[in-house]
Chain A
Amino acid sequence: MGKTLVYQILEQHLVEGRLVPGEEIGIRIDQTLTQDATGTTAFLLFESMGVGRVRTDLSVSYVDHNMAGFGPENHNDHLYLQTVAARSGVYHSRAGNGICHQVHLERFGRPGATLLGSDSHTPTGGGIGMLAIGAGGLDVAVAMGGGPFYLHCPKVLGVKLTGRLGDWVAAKDVILKVLSELTTKGNVGWAVEYFGSGVRNLTVPQRATITNMGAELGVTTSIFGSDEQTRKFLAGQKREQDYRPMAAEKDAKYDRVLKIDLSSLEPMAACPSSPDNVKSIREIAGTRVGQVALGSCTNSSFADLMMAAKVLKGRHVDPTVEFAVAPGSR
């Protein structure tokens, strides 16, 4: 029986335990990311370990959460994070550079590597073929110190994608469809792996939208393989040397399979107040809207913003709407 992509990466990083669903395993962590809201605690704990310098291949500290600066605490945090990163052999992405997950995907993500982040949307990195997992600050501190990350070996749910997205239908509609099927509950202990002929029609940022919001399923992580799309994306980021093809083995067996035909999808929305309360836009069309916000680590890639700019060029936002754009990276 062939191995899924998730199990291939787990096997390559296994340091303790057996790869049997439900058993506790320890895996080696190649990369870590932290953001400022959880990062100060992670670094304070890392400092108390007294190991001095990080022992990962790469650790990056981002500032993107607490930016408002009412009172000195936020800026004190930023200065601490900047200098403790310099002291500990850690990269530091300064306030203003962008959202951790998007910047990490663009500048550091590497197919086949493991990434542990002190933020629940760390699985964004699954879009580039990383096994990317969100965890607590202490877990990340331990990983920075060279310790393994312990988790329950997941079952793997395969999502088979076929076809191609129609005009005006987006990667967001794919993950909304998945959320409508699997809901936000009952998925603990699973990892989601996307495969099938439709995958090659999705770019890396589109895949990252899907794995990012996969966090709302409550799963350990979500992942795509690494293919020609991945190579092109990395080449565009001047990082073609990080490319490595990754895919599930031919006869890989998934614990459960969900099939989605991309061609059949239509625009959808997660209605108030849960990400799995999904309806088609047709069902709710006509509802008055007071504000619209474009951005976040889910949907603020180059293509997302360019699409918006092209549609809006020479036109004006409706006077009843406040429209905000928060780009994910510069």
Chain B
Amino acid sequence: MLAANGALSDLIAAGARILESACGPCIGQGFSPADGTVSLRTFNRNFAGRTGTKGDQVYLVSPETAVAAALTGKITDPRELSAQMGIVYPKIKLPRQFDVDDSMIEPALSEEKARTVEVLRGRTIVVPEAPTPLPATLTGRVLLKCADKITTDHIMPAGTFLKFRSNVPEYAKVAFNSFNEPGKPTFAERALELKGKGIGGIIVAGESYGQGSSREHAALCPMYLGVRAVIAKSIERIHRANLINFCIVPIQFAAAADYDKLTTGDELVIDDLLGAIRGSDTVTIRRKDGSFTFTGKLELSTRDRDILLAAGLLNYTRQKTHG
């Protein structure tokens, strides 16, 4: 509409750089400010570094205040434009009729037509495996014992790896990346080897496991790698829900001191895991060699239990909607 009524030409003539119609700088995609300079934006977030410049100074303002600064080079009360420059406030009425153009929106196809569509999956698009049902008795091995405050960034690093989010097998390769040591098999390699042998992966952790960003890949990728349980002193709320959704059992130590007795590589057995999920608030976990037995707490709502028994939220929803 702005192109048709000439407003776009006015903006360009005034020296505006026209970016494409998208999120752009608001999500850090370009237009990062120079070091030590002030940036005025009409956006909604100004968290430090979001622009892509370390130490950025972003002020979130109205379009009126933004334009005033564009004209004067400094933060200016837009009401001064009338006094200083004789600009009358342009009251914009919404048009009675917008130029409606849906040519860039492809409507939903009929069922018949939809069936003929081939879904294009470039090599970077990979459908993640669905979780498999939990075994009646879980035989597993501790893949990793980690300390307190493990964040979802520790579990699945972001940054340059983020573009692999459409490719779980690729992205999963960097699971627990910061724990991998050069020359030794990675977490992912060890996990996939166990998965191939039908042995479940188990993660042992301290307090506040899974804090930070709510990213689902922190459960989705471990699920792909065959992790079936997390035993921790405590698990953060959102991550706990994500674990359940991807059919990984969240277990808390009944006695925090039991954490000290476990090490990476321990073979653990949980007898009648399914029975416990159905109706108990605790599970008994034993080392396979019989040298140690301890109690884990299951803090699960009825819906949590149903989701775990259905092999994850997607299966649960499918079963419910298909009756």
Interface residues of A in 284-330 (CB under 8 A from B): 284-300, 302-330
Segment from A1-9, A48-56, A155-163, A251-259 that makes contact with B: A48-56
With A97-B104, A329-B21 as given contacts, are A281 and B65 in contact (CB-CB < 8 Å)?
Answer: yes
- Residue of B71, B97, B245 near A311 (CB, 8 A) is B71
How many angstroms from the CA of A120 to the CA of B75 in the assembled complex? 29
B21 adjacent to A82 (CB under 8 Å) = no
Q: Are A323 and B16 in contact (CB under 8 A)?
A: yes
Shortest distance from the beta carbon of B247 to any chain A beta carbon, whole Å: 12
Bound: A65/B24 CA distance, A: 7
A110 close to B (CB within 8 Å) = no
CB within 8 Å for A89 and B44 given contacts A269-B75, A315-B71: no
Q: Does A40 contact B (CB under 8 A)?
A: yes
Residues of A within 8 A of B91 (CB): 167
* A79, A90, A287: residue with the most chain B Cβ atoms closer than 10 Å: A287
Q: Kindly identify, within residues 13 to 45 of chain B, every residue whose CB is under 8 Å from any CB belonging to chain A.
A: 13-27, 29-31, 33-34, 37-45
Contact between B72 and A296, CB atoms less than 8 A apart? no
B2: CB under 8 A from chain A?
Answer: yes
Per DSSP, are chain A's interface residues mostly helix, strand or loop, or mixed?
mixed
A304 with B63: CB separation less than 8 A: yes
Query: Is B130 on the interface with A (CB-CB < 8 A)?
Result: yes
Chain B, interface residues (CB within 8 Å), range: 35 or more
Interface membership of B199, Cβ < 8 A? no
Is A298 in contact with B44, judged by CB distance below 8 angstroms?
Answer: yes
A320 adjacent to B127 (CB under 8 Å):
no
How far, in angstroms, from A138 to B314 measured CA to CA in the complex? 8
Task: Give bound CA distance, A121 to B46, whole Å.
Answer: 14
A84 to B117, CA, bound (A): 8
Say yes or no: A86-B109 contact (C-beta < 8 A), given A51-B321, A80-B122, A272-B57. yes
Pick the contact of B63: A98, A232, A308 (CB < 8 A): A308
Q: Which secondary structure dominates where chain B touches chain A? A: loop
| Total count of chain A residues near the partner, CB < 8 A | 140
Which B residues are in CB contact (< 8 Å) with A72? 122, 124
Which B residues are closer than 8 A to A by beta carbons? 1-2, 7-8, 10-11, 13-27, 29-31, 33-34, 37-48, 56-67, 69-79, 81-82, 87, 89-92, 94-98, 100-102, 104-109, 111, 113-115, 117-130, 163-166, 168, 214, 216-217, 220, 242, 245, 301, 303, 313-315, 317-318, 320-321
Residues of A with Cβ closer than 8 Å to B?
Answer: 24, 37, 40-41, 44-45, 47-51, 53, 55, 58-60, 64-68, 71-77, 79-80, 82-99, 103, 106-107, 121, 136-138, 141-142, 145-147, 150, 166-173, 176, 203, 205, 212-213, 215-216, 232-233, 235-238, 266-275, 281-282, 284-300, 302-330
